[in-house]
Structure 1
Amino acid sequence: MKTLIQKIHVEEQYSFACRMYRTPNFETAWHRHPECELIVITAGNGTALIGDYIGDYKPGDVFFLSSDLPHWFRKSKQDAIGSAIVVHFLKDFLGNAFLSLPEMHVIAGLLKNESMGIQLQGSTGQNIAHMIRQIESMEGLERIQLLLKCLEQIGLSEEQKVITIAFDTFAGGEENVLIETIIDYSFKNFLNPVSLKEVAANTNMSVSAFCRFFKKNIKKSYFDFIKELRIGHACKLLRDTDRPILDICYNSGYNSWAHFSKQFKVVTKVSPLKYRKQFRTG
């Protein structure tokens, strides 16, 4: 298992890192780092776990993650290729005095938020994705200027979705191994009946200790976590297939239409039918 703290390597000629991560280097499990992160997915799809957020990711998706925010981009198929271009930078890589300049107030406002995750949408997401690709191949001052332009656009844009905020965890290596074990077990079994006793046994904890541990580190109950995995799976089937909605209900870990419909509305705020119609009308 990898440790929770990931060490980001920055070449000596640069002040921040920007590189392509492609399978097998794309597969970094639940981790965090002191650097902020700008990421554009370039290949593969799966589930993004960012703080207490669970949602799909696909090529073209762009995320901004503030420092020390734990995350994991987990592929939907283990044998698939995953890749992303990722920018890693410390908040003060240009110095605290630079962020204090009046011209930097937009960027300073964006970076002051702790443990926040943003998904960029619409034309802003497309523009930021294009600039991240440019940064990867740039040298010198232009590289810094383009990163600052990215951050300013994010700070000014309304085309963003805050997916998690104020997520605070300081789990160490041992706790991280347990978190990875729980998440791995959950992805393998979320479509089946879930037993707290069984998942707790996988961590050598009692049910009560397991529930406290999970809530402390993931900021939600284990059954809420399973619910979001199941509804995320249902959303993907609604978007990507023409399968009947009732069939999707039974193939998403539910054996009751009424329960499935209720849980779907809790997570997405709309009914399964409306979700499919919204997606297909853009």
Structure 2
Amino acid sequence: MKPFLERLALPDGASWATLNRRLDGEIPFQWHHHPEFELTMTLNSRGQRFIGDHIGNYDDGDLVLVGPNLPHSWCSAAKVEETAPHVALVMWFLPQWAAPIGGVFTELRAVAAMLERARTGLKFSDTAAAEARPLIEALFGLPPDERLIQLLRVLALLSRDAGAEPLASPLAVAADQPANRGRIDRVLDHVHRRYAEKLSLEALADIAALSPSGLHRLFLRHTGQSVTGYLARLRIGAACALLSGGDRPIATIAADVGYDSLANFNRQFKAQRAVTPRQYRQRFRVGG
């Protein structure tokens, strides 16, 4: 299954959409993208989030803003309270909002700047997410006009979050031919699902119905990096999630994310994170 283009239907009398998603079983991996910004708060759930080439752990109260056409998915591992459902409070709004917000409403220029930063995804700090949570929860019960004002309150609050963290590496946001969008989507879906396996450029080129050099150019245009660079970032991101979430041996984690050589894993990890896997785990545990 390739990452599908999700087409959102706006409700009558509204310029944006919301979803109060409640799942008793699990939040399934559904790799998709859409032209709208997406602000998602995840409640009573723990697992992993996939945004572009980012993989990270999420927990109760996680709050993320995803940019237009940036492929993403959540995948739950457990609930916080077993008798209650997984909850995703989702807000979608058009990228066209950014220009008037920053150009007409001077007071909201910080919001426009945040939306620009969010084109590759933003994870908000726990403090900002906790402050925004009651506003977001109340938003879903308001009439359309008050709901819009409440969303602007939330965005203004989040625009002041100095602890917001970028997630994915830069992805091209320019429009592309549909055939090329389909090609890159098929390859990204395959890479995200099988990043721990041996993936050759030739096999990925076959999936895209391109030559290896053609896939290389397409990949650079869409992701700003080579296939091998993207794959390495994805593997190290998965390793970070495993290192911060348990006590499994580092050699086992290296193998689980696709590295046959522990030495190579350590080199790649330090090149991307500027610390060794052992130092990363230790810093995470002490809160640094």
What TM-score results when the alignment is normalised by the length of structure 2?
0.80
Shift of 1:181: 2.0
One-letter code of the match for 1:125?
Answer: A
**1:162 correspondence with 2:183:** no
**1:215 correspondence with 2:220:** yes
The equivalent of 2:234 in structure 1 is 229
**1:137 correspondence with 2:141:** yes
Moved more, 41-50 or 123-132: 41-50
The equivalent of 1:65 in structure 2 is 66
The equivalent of 1:41 in structure 2 is 42
**1:196 correspondence with 2:197:** no
Shift of 1:160: 0.8
One-letter code of the match for 1:61?
Answer: D
The equivalent of 2:261 in structure 1 is 256
Residues 268 and 130 of structure 1, relative CA distance in 2, 3 Å threshold: farther
Pick aligned residue for 1:125 from 113, 123, 129: 129
Distance 2:255 2:142 in 1: 50
The equivalent of 1:12 in structure 2 is 12
Residues 21 and 212 of structure 1, relative CA distance in 2, 3 Å threshold: farther
Shift of 1:207: 1.4
Distance 2:102 2:264 in 1: 53
Distance 2:174 2:188 in 1: 16
Shift of 1:85: 1.6
Pick aligned residue for 1:177 from 182, 192, 196: 182
The equivalent of 2:92 in structure 1 is 88
SS at match of 1:143: helix
**1:202-236 deviation per Cα after TM superposition (whole angstroms, max 9, x unaligned):** 22222111211222222211111211222122222
Residues 28 and 251 of structure 1, relative CA distance in 2, 3 Å threshold: closer
SS at match of 1:235: helix
Shift of 1:118: 1.7
SS at match of 2:247: coil
The equivalent of 2:281 in structure 1 is 276
Residues 10 and 268 of structure 1, relative CA distance in 2, 3 Å threshold: same
One-letter code of the match for 2:11?
Answer: E
Shift of 1:103: 3.5
Residues 76 and 156 of structure 1, relative CA distance in 2, 3 Å threshold: closer
Could you tell me whether the CA contact under 8 Å between 1:41 and 1:85 is conserved in 2?
yes
Distance 2:27 2:242 in 1: 28
Residues 160 and 205 of structure 1, relative CA distance in 2, 3 Å threshold: same
Moved more, 132-141 or 220-229: 132-141
Distance 2:245 2:3 in 1: 35
The equivalent of 1:266 in structure 2 is 271
Moved more, 203-212 or 100-109: 100-109
State the superposition RMSD in angstroms: 3.2
Could you tell me whether the CA contact under 8 Å between 1:29 and 1:180 is conserved in 2?
no
Distance 1:95 1:263 in 2: 39
Residues 27 and 137 of structure 1, relative CA distance in 2, 3 Å threshold: farther
Shift of 1:105: 3.7
Distance 2:70 2:209 in 1: 23
**1:36-88 deviation per Cα after TM superposition (whole angstroms, max 9, x unaligned):** 321113345334223xx41224243212234x3422215378xxx97522111
Which residues of structure 2 form unaligned runs of 5+?
A: 78-84
SS at match of 1:255: coil
**1:82-112 deviation per Cα after TM superposition (whole angstroms, max 9, x unaligned):** 7522111235669948962443343344446
What TM-score results when the alignment is normalised by the length of structure 1?
0.81
Could you tell me whether the CA contact under 8 Å between 1:116 and 1:167 is conserved in 2?
no
Aligned residues: 275
